[in-house]
Chains A and B, each alone.
Chain A
Amino acid sequence: MNLALPLPEYGVLGLALVVLLYDLVVPERVSRRALGWVCALGFAGVLALLLRSDAPQVAPVPTAFGGMYVADGLALAFKTLIVAAAMLASLASLDYLEARGVRWQGEYYLLLTLVTFALMCLVSAGDLLTLYVALELNSIGFYALVAVLKGRSLTSSEAGLKYLILGALSSALLLYGISLLYGLSGTVSLAGLAAWAAGAARSPALVVALALVAAGLAFKMSLVPFHMWAPDVYQAAPTPVTAFLSVAGKTAALALLVRVLDAALGGFIGVWDKLLMVLMAATFVWANLGALKQRDAKRLMAYSSVAQAGYLAIGVAAGSALGLQAALFYALVYVFTNVAAFQVLQLVAESGGPELSGLRGLGRRSPGLALILAAAVLSLAGIPPFGGFFGKFYLFAAGVREGIVAGRSWLLALVGLAVVMSIVSLFYYLILVKQMYIEPADPEAPGTGGPVAVPLGARLVLGVCAAMILWTGLYPSPILAWIRQALF
């Protein structure tokens, strides 16, 4: 057994220990703000390690702990995204927590690192048990992170509690599905399941298991109607946590869908793809229409994130290598785009408040911030030359190709619906742009005077994200090559 295999995970665990010790040793009156930099640097180091490692190019892929931990290219690629998101979240948190005088900053960064660790284990999970434990570990961490403003913000506590209750319910569904699968197949290993699924007969118990697993995964991915938690939680959670949850949580959920549905249960694609496509169709319609009338910027972005999850799932529903590549590319674009959008909204909300009207006149006050937010939302809407355009293009192309090649006409119809609804999405994305550039600023409103203050951490986040939004749109070939290599 190769104990050195999970080196990146060890790195993040080590970082968690450093955070813990720092919090214990440093006297209480000293601010824990420096921990944000420590975390950012630590994550940057792990990120460098991940970027330097090569994805295995021959089967069998290396495993550890008796097959419970898999170090394949898929895991490597998704871990890279998760750690990058964690690094950006640490940078975004620095001044946010300090400005609110949050007392348990040490705990906050500890939870952030542990959630990251759990997400990394999740995407490397080789069997259903590891998968479930990692899922619970990151969920519990997120419940606490969402409620970290407790005592200052009632809604933050409320959202944490709501998330916990609904999350527990969905975990129960998933766990029941997993136990049924184990009962039927006699194995919890994903590879074992795949071998079993290839020849298994379809029984009613299997149908129940598939439905329950799909429901549990749909909750993590926030597909309609399992998305109800998302708008409430996204709106009330601290903005850096919202950003991290929306990108890292969703990326890991995508990896989960790929691992469980495409890889382990690929033999039953004829059953679960119908389930998934119904959920996706509901997601496209509901999320995009629901976003139209939102007045709170973060709530609007929550609906947008739900819709984006639907687009990501196209790659899984296609079930082809091309679909998987497209989904991974889209996830990559989505991480940087969404973090950029939330970062700008966070900075603006400090002075202008959480409502959309707080953005008024931003184009004049802080042209740079306005430009980045405009680029981010246009990228989310799929407008060239930003990365989102290529991401959507590849996803839709993969869906159409699979629909034609495999004769899955439902998939074609679904892509058609996705295209139509992404036109609807342009409406609410442009509301943001309109607020920044066209709506006249109210001179009486608070915080509409000078430019928005942008601290160093936020500057770094915005710089990295803006560069990535442009790079993925203008010159995506190296990134595509990296993805192809990871998913050989």
Chain B
Amino acid sequence: MNPLLVVLFLPLATAVFNRLFGARLGKGAAAGLACASVLVAFAFAADSVLGLAALPAASRQVLVHVYDLLDLASFRVGFDLLLDPLSGMMILVVTGIGFLIHLYAVGYMHEEDAGEYARFFAYVNFFVFSMLTLVLAANFLVIFTGWELVGVSSYLLIGFYRGKTSAADAGKKAFIVNRVGDFGFLMAIFLIWNAFGSLDFSAVLPHAAALSPGMATAVGLLLFMGAAGKSAQGPLHVWLPDAMEGPTPVSALIHAATMVTAGVFLVARCHAIFELSPLALGVVAWTGALTAFLAATVAMVQVDIKRVWAYSTVSQLGYMVLGVGVGAYTAGLFHLLTHAFFKALLFLAAGSVMHALHGELDMRRMGGLWRKMPLTCATMIVGAACLAGVPLTSGFFSKDEILLMALRGPHADFGLWLLGYLGAACTAFYSGRLIFSVFFGKPRDHHAYEHAHESPWVMGLPLVLLAVGSLAVGLLGLPGFLTHWQPFTDWLAPVFADLKAVPEASASRALVLGLMALYTGTVAVLGWIAWRLYTGEAAAHPADGEATSALHRLLWNKYFFDEAYGFVFVRALLGYSRWLWRWVDQGLVDGTVNGVAAAAQAAGDFLRGRVHNGRTRQYAAYLAAGACLLLGLALIYHR
């Protein structure tokens, strides 16, 4: 049996098992089973990827046919899996980081009762299965299936705390906003089928050049609509910050490390289509750059630490999208990889703080916590350093690469670089602001401070491992002028072999070094400002609703996206629906339908009462009449 099947179906099996019997097994067994299944899946994934690496670079593609989903003579779609360097990288991230987050959840969720506990692990395992289906897909139907399944698992987990209305609403919001994007994705799939008569990647992507330019643009834009929904790109980003209503490990796994990167993955997977349309690529790049910048500005004023990381995630996803949008797929994916480590770390560390303070998330009520929880503090500083792009951390290398490509890559534009640079400056500021407000300065809420405690080892261990990973993963993609050892680029090279060679040479060493110096200086200056502002006696946090300026008000209210949607879509839609209901539905449609139904019912009455009256003689007469009818017809038609 192919090890990929174990990778894929083991988490599904444990999910089903835990949902059915987990509550009766007890907490230890349910959690042990869930963690073990992801660990085993990781081992098999590693084995598969090593097997892949042993093949010659050009033939690193393994197709696994599980069974036929549809077989209609002219149209055949199988449940097919594709293992190539791109999906290989993704399954390692999903199962590897997924395992650490599972481990963390064992401690984080321990206050839930056994039933809820088993339900949580069942859903998380189901998510792992869904995400693996998405990344391993070998055709558009399977990837769409995975796409929808991760949406479902995300919905289930955001609304995990069923008693909270806000959690249920957030789940619904995530699902509905995602449906908007899914609509585009589905349309793209229809167009692809129409153009190619097949949904297999192997039949579509290598022959993408057969698409007319207009069609390539349409398919590209529709695909990106799906990607923007899943990867929370403006204006479809509004669901992600609310999604933090879910348990923190879920935020880390689904809404930071894996699911939300699916859009980036999709664009990278379908790059052959995007490359045909400069317009589609431009839309991708500008959406990414604007999202990266705007979300970073919002993150500067939020006071809920999970919300800060949520907007930060939106912003960082913007960078990845910017990367793939300027044709720097490898750079975008490298940022995906590094971000998966450090953002998972940041969320888990935030969860650790929250755990210590009994659910407190408002950074205005924290301060000086480093004495109480040194491990959480140290690991979170590592994560924040990566996020801010402190030199020599992984985030520094990956973000620099994207910005360099925005300035010098095949589809470069100075405006894109400028937005990205300003966003990076904001990032440095809000990272510093959060760290300094939470861990340094004087405690602002003494009662909470006194009761704070470091988290247990099952939560601490994943933090340490992720911190080490966050730093080490940068080594996989050092800048080209430092070393020729480029494992990440080389690994993905077969996937992007169809692209023209990236003109790395056009960026001189002086420019690269100059840019690095600029970033370093920016991070240092903004970090210093944050330190001055937020560690002092009177930290510069305004109270709720107390806006210091119009700009602050704008950012505090997140550019009024939710309000605008409420006004434009929700209210207008409700009005329109009411009109439809009153006039079109009740008047026109119901009138017609009820009229037809009344006629049919009258006919039914007639047949039941008059014609079918139970008299055998009459029945026999009908029979004879029928025979005569047939005879007459036969005489008419026999020629």
Kindly state whether residue B75 has any CB partner on chain A within 8 Å: no
A187 to B271, CA, bound (A): 72
B631→A290 contact, CB < 8 A = no
Closest to A290 in B: B607
A293→B601 contact, CB < 8 A = yes
The answer to whether residues A289 and B623 also contact, given A202-B639, A278-B633, A477-B71 and a CB cut-off of 8 A, is: no
A166→B623 contact, CB < 8 A = yes
Kindly state whether residue B497 has any CB partner on chain A within 8 Å: no
A271→B637 contact, CB < 8 A = yes
Looking at the assembled complex, report how far the CB atom of A411 sits from the nearest CB atom of chain B, in whole angstroms: 14
**Residue from B604, B612, B631 within 8 A of A207 (CB atoms):** B631
The answer to whether residues A215 and B627 also contact, given A162-B619, A289-B600 and a CB cut-off of 8 A, is: yes
A225→B625 contact, CB < 8 A = yes
Looking at the assembled complex, report how far the CB atom of A443 sits from the nearest CB atom of chain B, in whole angstroms: 29
Number of contact residues on B: which range applies? 20 to 34
B604→A212 contact, CB < 8 A = no
Kindly state whether residue A408 has any CB partner on chain B within 8 Å: no
A217 to B365, CA, bound (A): 87
Chain B residues within 8 Å of A294, by CB: 608
Kindly state whether residue B503 has any CB partner on chain A within 8 Å: no
A226→B623 contact, CB < 8 A = yes
A170 to B630, CA, bound (A): 14
A291→B604 contact, CB < 8 A = yes
B630→A228 contact, CB < 8 A = no
Kindly state whether residue A165 has any CB partner on chain B within 8 Å: yes
**Residue from B601, B614, B630 within 8 A of A215 (CB atoms):** B630
Kindly state whether residue A18 has any CB partner on chain B within 8 Å: no
Closest to B609 in A: A293
A427 to B597, CA, bound (A): 9
B68→A477 contact, CB < 8 A = yes
Determine which residue in B601, B627, B631 has the highest number of CB atoms from chain A within 10 A of its CB, and name it. Answer: B627
B623→A293 contact, CB < 8 A = no
A477 to B68, CA, bound (A): 10
Query: What does DSSP make chain A's interface, helix, strand, loop or mixed?
Result: helix
Chain B residues within 8 Å of A270, by CB: 637
B607→A232 contact, CB < 8 A = no
Chain B residues within 8 Å of A117, by CB: none
A375 to B261, CA, bound (A): 39
A169 to B621, CA, bound (A): 10
A228→B622 contact, CB < 8 A = yes
Closest to B605 in A: A293
Chain A residues within 8 Å of B631, by CB: 207-208, 211-212
**Residue from B600, B625, B626 within 8 A of A292 (CB atoms):** B600
**Residue from B604, B616, B629, B630 within 8 A of A166 (CB atoms):** B616
Q: Mark B538-576, 1 if CB is under 8 A from A, else 0.
A: 000000000000000000000000000000000000000
A173 to B625, CA, bound (A): 12
A211→B627 contact, CB < 8 A = yes
Looking at the assembled complex, report how far the CB atom of A481 sits from the nearest CB atom of chain B, in whole angstroms: 10
A293 to B624, CA, bound (A): 27
B634→A210 contact, CB < 8 A = yes
Chain B residues within 8 Å of A291, by CB: 604
A244 to B626, CA, bound (A): 26
**A to B CB contacts below 8 Å, 26 in the list:** A162-B619, A166-B620, A202-B639, A204-B635, A204-B638, A207-B635, A207-B638, A210-B638, A211-B631, A211-B634, A214-B630, A225-B626, A225-B629, A228-B618, A228-B622, A271-B638, A274-B633, A275-B637, A278-B630, A278-B633, A290-B607, A291-B604, A292-B600, A292-B603, A292-B604, A427-B597
State the B residues within 8 Å of A (CB). Answer: 68, 71, 597, 600-601, 603-605, 607-608, 612, 614, 616, 618-620, 622-627, 629-631, 633-639
Q: Which 4 A-B pairs have the closest CB atoms?
A: A292-B604, A293-B604, A228-B619, A290-B607
